[in-house]
Amino acid sequence: MALPSEISVSEVGPRDGLQIEAKQIATADKIALIKLLIATGLKKIEVTGFAHPKVVPQLADAEQVLAGLRKPDGVRFAAFVPNAKGAERAIAAGIDDLKSGIATSDTFNELNVRMSTAQGMRALDEIAAAAKGTRSRIVGVVATAFGCPYEGQLPESQLFQLFEQLVGMDSPVIYLADTTGVANPGSITRTVEKLRARWPDQPIGLHLHNTRGLGLANAFAGLELGLRDFESSVGGLGGCPFAPRAVGNICTEDFVHMAHELGIKTGVDLDKLIAAAQFAQEMLGRTLPGMVMKSGKATELHDKSVARIKID
């Protein structure tokens, strides 16, 4: 299949990227980062999450973050919501997209949201009921869609059941999450093709982590399948706090750079995105995994008289 001419990039750094950070990030710094991301042209930004503060302390200031932002026309703010109470808070705060989903793995689901998969599916129905009649919509995510580090490969029937529930909720796109980085380009292709065979009209997206260095390879497999919706994190921030040996999400600026080099439009200003990644790195006070913010774009030319350096 030919590569898509244009794709949609959903930035998840302010939520999925920061939630694992042990050092509490100041609300003002989170707001400043999100404003820089808005300025890049990104149209979908996951700005926070509405989990219980004791479970995810980094997101305890969700309402304050939203209160400090002005959302431009055409931009959608998303937030993770694990249950109906979280959804009600998110709706009251003006969230557009309720990011909600269930892991195919009972073990992972219990670690992540303190529920079994069956309980999570009931919670998803309650979230849908809370959203009904409001301006907020459910955007579905199936976690551990390609396997679980605790239970291994799971029956396809579990993935199909969760996917079907989200299809029934009119989710505009359903993201398959490689939450702990066990996928490879082959498993990405096989899984997407099987879902398309059953639900050919349902848009599918990918939420990828770079746990074993295959993040961009998996994203490219998605592009070859013609997928148009991808989630990534500025600077390569992230890593699920409930995953063993967690590594960050695929890096937004690295992925956007790859897309642009392939001739795929993203609507994102890469230079401004690199600046946002550099701000995130300074904010956290450590080197982040992203490579393009260190090495520069492939199109940049260098003065041969300038000393060559090794980047970390």
Sign of CA dihedral 284, 14, 32, 53: negative
Contact 96/139 with Cβ under 8 angstroms?
A: no
Q: Distance (Å, rounded) from C-alpha 231 to C-alpha 112?
A: 19
Q: For residue 235, what are the CA distances in angstroms to 50, 83, 148, 167, 257? A: 23, 29, 25, 32, 12
Q: What is the DSSP string of 87-116?
A: HHHHHHTT-SEEEEEEES-HHHHHHHHSS-
Q: Which are the catalytic amino acids?
A: 240
Q: Is 275 exposed, middle or buried (0-12, 13-18, 19+ CB in 10 A)?
A: middle
Query: What tokens appear for 112 in the block?
Result: 């992540």
Name the phi and psi angles at 160, rounded to 5: -60, -40
- The C-alpha atoms of residue 220 and residue 240 are separated, in whole angstroms, by 22
Query: Would you say 97 and 45 are in contact if contact means Cβ atoms under 8 Å apart?
Result: no
C-alpha closest to that of 27 among 53, 56, 65: 65
